[in-house]
């Protein structure tokens, strides 16, 4: 049992700890570059709520940077046919997506009247123009060459997005892995133009059906399939929350970047990254 004297001593110890002068080469703020990071929030108006709007979108970009880091590493694992580490990376991406979805709940505290006070200050800026979001979509398989035009004024980003557009997506790599593992995948899927949107294929669906019907024999691929489903499920939930938050704040006004706003986001809900993993469920 801790007596009052012990509690007092503990309090004194904590107080003494806070008086330490940190002289190390790396401190908390230095390691995280907080000086630079916390100077990046520069509202264009005097409106109180603009700070929330900026922080939500900046933090989303940081989380997307982490998603890209994990996704590219997971793609390398699939190329090397070493799936173990990729499972952890895919799980992490799905949890980051859940975090991103939660951010829309915070943004929904912004009322239409609040947003209207500073919306005109945004000009033509829009999440539609997010370079990192487009990188994630291309890497997951939602290929659309027209989407890179927003980045023509930045040659470095434009070239990087173009490379991602023409490279195999994560799912293309997974399909190639299925072929390596002995599943009869159509050659048209293995040798296609990777800059074009993926079209569902019967041979790929049949491969997933075999895997789901024999999980003990194909446990590693079975687990990979479920990680992909989890990833897409979280992404779809994020998109839906985004759409409902925009609807709540601006209704059906046109988006600041010239898109249809809510109508554009609704169409995005129909996009599937891994279509055969969903259609196969009906046949299992």
3-state secondary structure of 110: coil
Q: How far apart (Å, rounded) are the C-alpha atoms in residues 99 and 2?
A: 40
222 annotated to a ligand binding site: no
Residue 83 contacts residue 77 (beta carbons within 8 Å): yes
115 annotated to a ligand binding site: yes
118 annotated to a ligand binding site: no
DSSP H stretches of helix in the chain: 4-18, 28-31, 34-37, 50-79, 83-107, 112-116, 131-140, 155-166, 170-180, 187-190, 202-213, 219-250, 262-268, 275-283
The two structure tokens encoding residue 22? 């940190």
3-state secondary structure of 49: coil
259 annotated to a ligand binding site: no
Q: How far apart (Å, rounded) are the C-alpha atoms in residues 25 and 52?
A: 33
Q: Count other Cβ atoms within 10 Å, centred on residue 244.
A: 14
Pick from 139, 282, 138: which is nearest to 148 by CA? 138
136 annotated to a ligand binding site: no
53 annotated to a ligand binding site: yes
242 annotated to a ligand binding site: yes
What is the CB-side half-sphere exposure of residue 177 using CA atoms within 13 A?
A: 23
SS3 content of the chain, % helix, strand, coil (to 5): 70, 0, 30
Residue ranges for the binding site for substrate? Answer: 53-57, 115, 119, 256
Residue ranges for the binding site? Answer: 53-57, 115, 119, 242, 256
Residue ranges for the binding site for heme? Answer: 242
């Amino acid at each position: 049992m801790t007596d009052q004297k012990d509690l007092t001593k503990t309090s004194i110890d904590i107080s003494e700890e806070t008086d330490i002068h940190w002289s190390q080469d790396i401190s908390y703020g230095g390691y995280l570059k907080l000086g630079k990071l916390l100077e990046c929030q520069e509202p264009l108006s005097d409106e109180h709520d603009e700070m929330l709007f900026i922080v939500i979108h900046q933090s989303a970009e940081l989380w997307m940077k982490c998603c890209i880091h994990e996704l590219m590493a997971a793609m390398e694992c699939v190329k090397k046919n070493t799936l173990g580490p990729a499972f952890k990376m895919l799980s992490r991406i799905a949890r980051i997506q859940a975090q991103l979805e939660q951010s829309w709940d915070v943004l929904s505290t912004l009322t239409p009247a609040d947003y209207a006070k500073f919306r005109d200050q945004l000009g033509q800026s829009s999440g539609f123009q997010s370079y990192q979001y487009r990188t994630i979509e291309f890497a997951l398989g939602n290929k659309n060459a027209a989407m890179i035009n927003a980045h023509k004024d930045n040659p470095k980003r434009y070239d990087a997005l173009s490379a991602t557009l023409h490279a195999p997506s994560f799912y293309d790599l997974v399909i190639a892995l299925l072929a390596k593992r002995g599943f009869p995948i159509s050659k048209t899927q293995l040798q296609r133009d990777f800059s074009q949107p993926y079209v569902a294929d019967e041979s790929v669906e049949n491969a997933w059906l075999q895997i789901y019907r024999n999980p003990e024999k194909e446990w590693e691929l079975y687990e990979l399939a479920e990680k992909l489903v989890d990833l897409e499920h979280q992404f779809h939930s994020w998109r839906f929350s985004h759409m409902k938050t925009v609807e709540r704040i601006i209704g059906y006004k046109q988006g600041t970047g010239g898109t249809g706003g809510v109508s554009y986001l609704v169409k995005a809900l129909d996009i599937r990254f891994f279509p055969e993993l969903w259609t196969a469920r009906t046949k299992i």
